[in-house]
Amino acid sequence: MKLENKDKSMIFSCTEIPDVFFTEYMNEANGDFIKVYLCLVFLTKYDKDIKLNDLSKKLNIPLQTIQAALSFWEEKGILIKKVNGYILNNLQEIELHKLYSPNLTLSKEDIKKNEDSKYRAKAIECINNTYFQGIMSPTWYSDIDLWFKKYNFDEQVMISLFQYCFNKSALHKNYVKTVAEAWHKNNIKTYEDLEAYSAKQENLNKIKKDIAKKLRRYSPLTQFEEAFIEKWISDYNYDLNVINIALKKTTSKANPSFDYLDKLISDWHDRNLKTSDEINNFLAEMKQKKKDIKQLKKQTNYNNYEQRNYDNLNDLYANKKIN
């Protein structure tokens, strides 16, 4: 690839990057995608053709990654694909268009002028000063205002939303919106709702760790295994005491599975057994009935004795000690 600059030596030239790139786009892209963008900005100054293979060699990035980067920036609206190449859009024009789109934006000044939004304006300013060092992009103002209306969060919840994402090192719009959606689905509106939800999640995480430890699982639980636990806790309303009963029944198994645990716990739920005492009583009754059946077999020498409703539980409860 040959680059020419007839006006002045390249050593004295500069490539400008608008500030909006750093506030709106950089935190959503990985390092390779950023390298591709910066190189494209540099190359457009010289209006030269470039092949993707050459770009791959120049940046020392695999061709597949180059193609993924182009698709990423095209999705963000920064690139427009043509038959013979791409057009690089002006980021400032893109953000200006967003800012003045009808009914979709509300500027910082408009929020301050609106008396009904004074508390929200204070919350937004707190977010700006705390998490953006006072240089939050104008488009964040409109997005936050829309989230206030869409999710009906109070001011403390909105600030907590940004605190949570900041602690996760994921302060970009897609992630913030995803968390906001999750909180909304869990009926979080006030700070008290958020505290109750956080306490519930903390308890759930402790239970997950305790279960993994008792099963001697040193690798992280899979998404499906965590879904089992969430079902037992959230849907069945069982506590760790109930789950511990199921865990104790895995001691004779070399590789106990979550499928086995789920069958046990779901069976108890289907029988409307709600507490650990009720479950222990049920298991004791099951054990006694099995003893009675064995004793009856010995007395009658009748090996084909019908076990009624207990046949389908043979695999589930056979040869298990009740603690």
For the stretch 216-263, pLDDT in tens is 888 888 888 989 998 999 889 998 899 999 888 877 666 778 888 999
Judge if 109 and 178 occupy the same domain: yes
Judge if 84 and 105 occupy the same domain: no
- Let me know if residue 3 belongs to a domain: no
- Let me know if residue 301 belongs to a domain: yes
- Let me know if residue 1 belongs to a domain: no
- The structural domain count of the chain equals 3
Strands 79-82 and 85-88 come out as antiparallel
* Two structure tokens written together for 108: 């910082």
Judge if 116 and 167 occupy the same domain: yes
* Two structure tokens written together for 60: 């020392």
Q: How far apart are CA 265 and CA 258, in angstroms?
A: 10
List, for residues 279-318, the tens digit of each pLDDT value.
999 989 888 888 877 777 777 655 554 555 545 555 566 5
Q: How high is the pLDDT of residue 74?
A: 86
Domain carrying residue 68: 10-95
Judge if 210 and 310 occupy the same domain: yes
Judge if 175 and 216 occupy the same domain: no
Q: How high is the pLDDT of residue 3?
A: 41
Total length of the chain: 323
CATH code where residue 168 lies: 1.10.10
Judge if 201 and 278 occupy the same domain: yes
Q: How high is the pLDDT of residue 59?
A: 86
Using CA atoms, how far residue 45 sits from 39, 57, 71, in Å, is: 10, 20, 21
Q: How high is the pLDDT of residue 287?
A: 85
- Let me know if residue 322 belongs to a domain: no
Judge if 112 and 153 occupy the same domain: yes
* Two structure tokens written together for 121: 């304006």
Of the three residues 134, 163, 189, the one that is the final residue of a domain is 189
Q: How high is the pLDDT of residue 120?
A: 82
Judge if 46 and 65 occupy the same domain: yes
Q: Are 171 and 165 in contact (CB under 8 A)?
A: yes
- Let me know if residue 2 belongs to a domain: no
Helical packing angle, 63-75 and 52-59, nearest 10°: 110
Q: Are 72 and 33 in contact (CB under 8 A)?
A: yes
Judge if 211 and 311 occupy the same domain: yes
Judge if 30 and 134 occupy the same domain: no
Which stretches of the chain drop beneath a pLDDT of 70?
A: 1-12, 48, 95-117, 252-254, 300-323
pTM of the model: 0.52
Q: How high is the pLDDT of residue 86?
A: 78
Q: How far apart are CA 129 and CA 110, in angstroms?
A: 18
Of the three residues 62, 95, 128, the one that is the final residue of a domain is 95
Judge if 164 and 275 occupy the same domain: no
CATH code where residue 77 lies: 1.10.10.10
- Let me know if residue 30 belongs to a domain: yes
* Two structure tokens written together for 242: 């109930």
Q: Are 149 and 105 in contact (CB under 8 A)?
A: no
Q: Are 158 and 119 in contact (CB under 8 A)?
A: no
Judge if 78 and 180 occupy the same domain: no
- Let me know if residue 275 belongs to a domain: yes
Q: How high is the pLDDT of residue 107?
A: 56
Of the three residues 189, 206, 228, the one that is the final residue of a domain is 189
Q: How far apart are CA 302 and CA 322, in angstroms?
A: 27
3-state secondary structure of 320: coil
Helices (DSSP H) in the chain: which residue ranges?
A: 19-20, 31-44, 52-59, 63-75, 91-99, 108-113, 118-131, 138-151, 155-167, 173-185, 191-214, 223-230, 240-248, 258-270, 276-300, 314-317
Using CA atoms, how far residue 108 sits from 47, 117, 128, 138, 274, in Å, is: 38, 11, 11, 7, 53
